[in-house]
Amino acid sequence: FDIKGSEKIERKRRRKRRSGGRRRRRRRRRRRRRRQRRRRRRRRRRRRRRRRRQTRRRQRRRQRRRRKKEENEKKKKKKKKKKKKKKKTKNNNNKKKKKKKKKKKTKKKKKKKKKKKKKKKKKKEEEEEKK
* Number of domains making up the chain: 1
Q: Is residue 94 one of the residues assigned to a domain?
A: no
Tell me the helices (H) and strands (E) count for the chain, helix number first: 3, 0
Is pTM beyond 0.95 here? no
Q: Is residue 29 one of the residues assigned to a domain?
A: yes
Q: Is residue 6 one of the residues assigned to a domain?
A: no
pLDDT of residue 56: 84
Q: Is residue 103 one of the residues assigned to a domain?
A: no
Q: Is residue 37 one of the residues assigned to a domain?
A: yes
Q: Is residue 68 one of the residues assigned to a domain?
A: yes
> pLDDT (tens digit, 9 = 90+) per residue, 13-71?
888 776 665 555 555 555 566 666 666 666 655 565 556 667 888 889 999 999 999 99
Give the DSSP per-residue string, 36-97: HHHHHHHHHHHHHHHHHHHHHHHHHHHHHHHHHHHHHHHHHHSPPPPPPPPPPPP--TTSPP
Q: Is residue 33 one of the residues assigned to a domain?
A: yes
Per the structure, the complete domain to which residue 61 belongs is given by: 23-74
Q: Is residue 40 one of the residues assigned to a domain?
A: yes
